[in-house]
């Protein structure tokens, strides 16, 4: 059996030989002699193959024992495939239909076989190319509410919750990467950092900005100490694939317990970065204006749907450790319950703004950058747009307590251009 073979990375030639006896692939695809394989991994860490036959197609994702973005000099545990599988199972149960169907997990080979999402496109790419995704904000708002609520102490009973927390605390290597690459490196002169030529003075100023560094440290403390729910942990627009009417979340290997605002804030940050760069990727002013309106509307819908769905779950599914009905509803105090809900949503919102501000910094000054900026060939334009996004990100992180609504934040984004 495959499990007894020591780990070896797959390639397009070896994949049919090594997986050709697995019923999970042969049943849907037919015999391996008819498979066509290509490697499509565009992420920072793993191998991803699309396997196609005349009967259908599947995706095989395999972890490498090092970080692909840096190379073999950065060893990484294969365990992340295990955590990705465990996380996708939970996220899929909490918001059915929003992650790819899982077909097979092979721990020894650190590989996952899943539904091939087609004709879905990675949302980052779709947004750069000017595609309209009218359901994106709604779908992601629902996803965030359902996964973050149902993974939390408001939903889960004590034993299951503690067991889950213990399990995911094993994903320590990826937690450590986020702690360093997101919350620390961009705010100091770290060896893995890079930035666009022309941004030197801005990078220096960031590293001397005490108020911003205090905010970064506060958000890092929140991330590291507030084990509120099971997060996706890497929910940027490159971890979402969509069509006009369907939206799927992929790439959950960073899953860990953390504050709800982290997933929300990272996602919003990438929508706002798409907003700041839209003109560079559009031929004319009117399509850029329309794209800008749509991106801000997507951010607004995402937060509003999140808040509405979360409120609905709060009223109907609050059965876990933090149920709290005994303190409120059971004593006839629904107003008290609603006040507790409003207080919690306010905390998630402030956290989300703080995390969004930090995420923008790490994507411009840290190791892992994003195509919205990287694809702008004119380095002067790229640096100028990055400066604007950084100013916006700083405002979010430092002044997160002063911005009450997503509409207010969108107005600030418009005003900063
Ligand atoms: P990494 O962890 O290395 O970032 P991802 O899970 O993000 O890997 O996958 C990398 C790329 O592979 C995605 O950006 C997407 O293009 C493709 N991909 C991943 N999963 C699927 C899937 N289920 N269906 C179609 N394409 C996928
Ligand atoms: Mg990825
Ligand atoms: Mg659908
Ligand atoms: Mg990944």
Q: Are 152 and 229 in contact (CB under 8 A)?
A: yes
> Right CATH number for 2-115 from 3.30.200.20, 3.40.50.720, 1.10.3720.10, 3.40.50.300?
3.30.200.20
CA 343 to ligand 2 centroid distance, Å:
33
Ligand nearest to the CA of 61: 1
Q: How far is CA 88 from its chain centroid?
A: 13
Q: Strand pairing of 229-231 and 240-242?
A: unpaired
Q: Residues 361, 393: contact at Cβ < 8 Å?
A: yes
Q: Indicate the top mutation candidate among 45, 46, 61 to test ligand 1's pocket, ranked by most ligand atoms within 8 A of CB.
A: 61
CA 259, CA 340: separation in Å to the nearest integer? 17
Encode pLDDT of 81-118 as tens digits.
999 999 999 999 999 999 999 999 999 999 999 999 99
Per-residue tokens: 167? 């399990």
Cα–Cα distance, 90 to 99 (Å, whole number): 10
Q: What percent of the chain has pLDDT over 90?
A: 95
The closest residue, in CA terms, to atom 19 on ligand 1 is 48
Those residues of the chain that have pLDDT short of 50 are 1-3
DSSP letters, 34-80, are G-EEEE---SSSEEEEEEE-SS-EEEEEEE-SEETTTEEEEE--TTH
The ligand minimizing its distance to the Cα of 59 is 1
Question: Where, residue-wise, is CATH 3.30.200.20 in the chain?
Answer: 2-115
CA angle 13–17–23, rounded 5-degree value: 130
Find the length of the chain: 417
121-416, superfamily in CATH? Aminoglycoside phosphotransferase (APH), C-terminal lobe (3.90.1200.10)
Residues of the chain with CATH 3.90.1200.10: 121-416
Residues 6 or more apart in contact with residue 265 via CB below 8 angstroms? 351, 352, 353, 354, 355, 356, 359
Among 39, 48, 52, which residue has the most ligand 1 atoms within 8 Å of its CB, making it the best to mutate? 48
Contacts of 280 (CB under 8 A, 6+ apart): 376, 378, 381, 382, 385
Instruction: Specify the pLDDT at position 4.
Output: 64
DSSP string, 96-152: TTSSPPEEEEETTTTEEEEE---S-EEHHHHHHTT---TTHHHHHHHHHHHHHHHTS
């Amino acid at each position: 059996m495959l499990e007894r073979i020591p780990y070896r990375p797959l390639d397009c030639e070896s994949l049919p030989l090594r997986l050709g006896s697995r019923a999970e692939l042969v049943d849907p695809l037919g015999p391996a002699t008819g498979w066509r394989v290509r490697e499509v991994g565009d992420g920072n860490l793993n191998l991803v193959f699309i396997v196609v036959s005349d009967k259908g197609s599947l995706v095989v994702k395999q972890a490498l024992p090092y970080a692909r973005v840096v190379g073999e000099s950065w060893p990484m545990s294969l365990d992340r495939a295990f955590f990705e599988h465990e996380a996708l199972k939970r996220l899929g149960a909490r918001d059915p239909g929003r992650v790819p169907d899982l077909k097979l997990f092979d721990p020894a080979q650190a590989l996952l076989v899943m539904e091939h999402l087609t004709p879905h496109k990675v949302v980052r790419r779709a947004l750069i190319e000017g595609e309209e995704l009218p359901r994106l904000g709604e779908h992601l708002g629902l996803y965030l509410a359902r996964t973050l609520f149902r993974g939390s102490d408001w939903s889960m009973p004590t034993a299951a919750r503690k067991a889950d927390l213990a399990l995911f605390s094993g994903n320590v290597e990826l937690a450590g990467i986020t702690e360093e690459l997101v919350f620390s490196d961009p705010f100091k002169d770290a060896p893995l950092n890079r930035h666009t030529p022309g941004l030197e003075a801005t990078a220096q100023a960031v590293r001397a900005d005490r108020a911003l560094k205090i905010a970064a440290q506060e958000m890092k403390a929140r991330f590291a100490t507030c084990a509120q729910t099971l997060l996706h942990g890497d929910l940027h627009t490159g971890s979402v694939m969509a069509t006009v009417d369907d939206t799927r979340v992929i790439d959950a290997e960073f899953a860990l317990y953390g504050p709800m605002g982290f997933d929300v804030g990272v996602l919003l940050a990438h929508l706002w970065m798409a907003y700041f760069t839209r003109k560079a990727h559009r031929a004319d002013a009117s399509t850029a204006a329309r794209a800008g309106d749509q991106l801000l509307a997507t951010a607004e819908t995402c937060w509003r749907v999140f808040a509405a769905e979360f409120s609905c779950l709060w009223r109907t599914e609050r059965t876990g450790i933090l149920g709290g009905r005994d303190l409120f509803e059971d004593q006839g105090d629904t107003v008290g319950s609603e006040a507790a809900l409003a207080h919690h949503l306010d905390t998630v919102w402030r956290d989300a703004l703080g995390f969004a501000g930090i995420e923008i910094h790490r994507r411009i000054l840290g190791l892992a950058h994003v195509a919205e900026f990287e694809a702008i060939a004119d380095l002067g334009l790229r640096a100028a747009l990055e400066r604007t996004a950084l100013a916006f990100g700083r405002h979010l992180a430092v002044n997160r307590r002063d911005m009450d609504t997503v509409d207010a934040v969108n107005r600030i984004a418009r005003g900063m251009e």
